[in-house]
Amino acid sequence: MVEARKLVGGMREYYAARAPWHDCYMGYTGNTAMEELLAPIVAVVEEFLSGRDVLEVACGTGNWTEVLARRAASVLATDVNESTLRRAEAKDHPAGVVSFQVADAYTLEGVRGGFTGAFAADWWSHVPRSLLPAFLDTLHGRLQRGAGVVFLDMLPSDHPDLTPYRQDDEGNAICRRTLPDGRVFDVVKNFPSRSDVLDSMTGRGEGAEYHEWRELRRWLVTYTVSNTPRS
């Protein structure tokens, strides 16, 4: 648990420092081909969260915030790093739909409750295994019963940024990332199986549907909240 907390702190520092390069790394810089490839995933996200008041966790520079805003009734985009959140805020969003708030995904301190939807992209894989149950319960504590939840993340790849160089005592896969300015960080990058993801829904969610797009190296799960937070 101690190392897990240390890794979380390191990742916060990494993504704050990476903010100026993030969109380029992810292929989100006006890449029409990328938009076309992601279209089937976008369609699932938009349909499932349409008309909902959505809490977005770890929104980063806000590329998926733009997707959510097309069909959601409202979006509160949160991130622990103000540097990335300001970049998200600067993007083009429909008037009156999106708001932004600095918030730690593990505590969601200061975030109101009562949301009818939640979304996180490329977040689950960065959560240390020992912290995942508490994170899910904290998230559900901000959602109404029956709220729709979408998690989107990556499948394994031979890309250097996604290739672990070690495994810690909890079984977390640790990758090493180097920024253009030479700084080096350790990043948790777990690749849960379908059963890992669905087992995490036990007692928390119902109607879970798991999808994979192997050509895009992506998995996605949708479900509805079935309970109140565990004590």
Can you give the pLDDT at residue 223? Answer: 98
- State pLDDT tens for residues 133-163: 999 999 999 999 999 999 999 999 888 888 9
Q: Is residue 231 part of a domain?
A: no
DSSP annotation string for 175-193:
EEEE-TTS-EEEEE-----
Out of 25-34, 65-74, 123-132, 175-184, pick the least confident: 25-34
Can you give the pLDDT at residue 36? Answer: 82
Q: Is residue 230 part of a domain?
A: no
Q: Is residue 32 part of a domain?
A: yes
Contact assessment for residue 98 and residue 75, using Cβ atoms and an 8 Å cutoff = yes
Residue 93: partners with Cβ closer than 8 Å, 6 or more residues away: 65, 66, 69
The whole-angstrom separation of Cα 145 and Cα 188 is: 31
Rounded mean pLDDT of the chain? 91
Average pLDDT over residues 56-65: 94
Q: Is residue 125 part of a domain?
A: yes
pTM (2 d.p.)? 0.92
The whole-angstrom separation of Cα 166 and Cα 22 is: 24
The maximal CA–CA distance of the chain, rounded, in angstroms, is: 47
Domain that holds residue 201: 2-225
The whole-angstrom separation of Cα 169 and Cα 119 is: 29
Domain count, the chain: 1
Q: Is residue 29 part of a domain?
A: yes
Q: Is residue 51 part of a domain?
A: yes
pLDDT band at 231 (very low <50, low <70, confident <90, very high): very low
* Helix (H/G/I), strand (E/B), else coil: 119: strand
- State the CATH number of the domain containing residue 104: 3.40.50.150
Contact assessment for residue 111 and residue 79, using Cβ atoms and an 8 Å cutoff = no
Distances (CA, A) of 46 to 19, 61, 164: 25, 19, 32
